[in-house]
Chains A and B, each alone.
Chain A
């Protein structure tokens, strides 16, 4: 797990700089996936989910 890698860098090797770099990479990967899913979401229907009279 990447969170363990960050933990080890910070608290076992005491390299906070490397640990924050790992955390930034972690955040970037999350951002890529979330952006991809939200990008797919924009292709779909958006609008009210209620019926209304018609």
Chain B
């Protein structure tokens, strides 16, 4: 191209424009708009909304109820995904099957999971009917419309996400390192503790962050499974 050398502007950069405009329009602008809006309350000074939030008894404790849900859910997700991903790191015959099975929930939306859980875990659902039929547990179980319902749905929807992230991290670790350790007499447990785990920790931290953010801001399962008639879950 004759003009390409003279032009200091690389036209390939234009490819960034749609993505940048998308971010600007759909993320940065709404964020700034919301930020400005939050300082323009219906009545009172600029900080009136924040003052209202931290002085109203049914508003500020929602921070703790949400943290009380999101942090255990994240720890369960990451803690469960780690050993399973560790087992799945080597190629085996059933690896593809098991990975597919574990990833299926990610294709279901949170709403679908919540609806399914309402019929499965509900007071007249399969689970409680089965438990009562086999007399394993005769008391009434309450797993929907409370803390446990939301926690279970967060684990179902968040687990595949954590699993896939950890799997990609763990398969990136060179198995030669573990093999070298085994020539020095390290058993599988100390291979994990001294080689895989330290190398994996940064990835685990990343995975924890992403899972946490996902769990913290989840809305559909909280409404469908958590909310009681009178008070807020």
In the complex the two chains form, is B40's CB within 8 Å of A17's CB? yes
Within 8 A of A (CB), among B49-64: 49-50, 52-53, 58-59, 62-63
Task: Please encode chain B, from 204 to 233, with 1 for each CB lying within 8 Å of some chain A CB and 0 for all others.
Answer: 011011001100111100110011000011
Contact residues in A for B37 (Cβ distance below 8 Å): 16-17, 20
Contact of A3 among B34, B53, B218 (CB under 8 A): B218
Contact residues in B for A3 (Cβ distance below 8 Å): 66, 217-219, 222
Size of interface on A: residues with Cβ below 8 Å to B = 32
Shortest distance in angstroms between B193's beta carbon and chain A's nearest beta carbon?
Answer: 14
Does B28 sit at the interface, judged by CB under 8 A? no
Interface contact tally, CB-CB below 8 A = 121
In the complex the two chains form, is B198's CB within 8 Å of A1's CB? no
Contact residues in A for B116 (Cβ distance below 8 Å): none
- Interface of chain B: mostly helix, strand, loop or mixed: helix
In the complex the two chains form, is B202's CB within 8 Å of A41's CB? yes
- Interface of chain A: mostly helix, strand, loop or mixed: helix
Contact residues in B for A17 (Cβ distance below 8 Å): 37-38, 40-42, 49
Does B102 sit at the interface, judged by CB under 8 A? no
Does B83 sit at the interface, judged by CB under 8 A? no
Measured between alpha carbons, how far is A44 from B13 in the docked complex, in Å?
36
In the complex the two chains form, is A38's CB within 8 Å of B62's CB? no
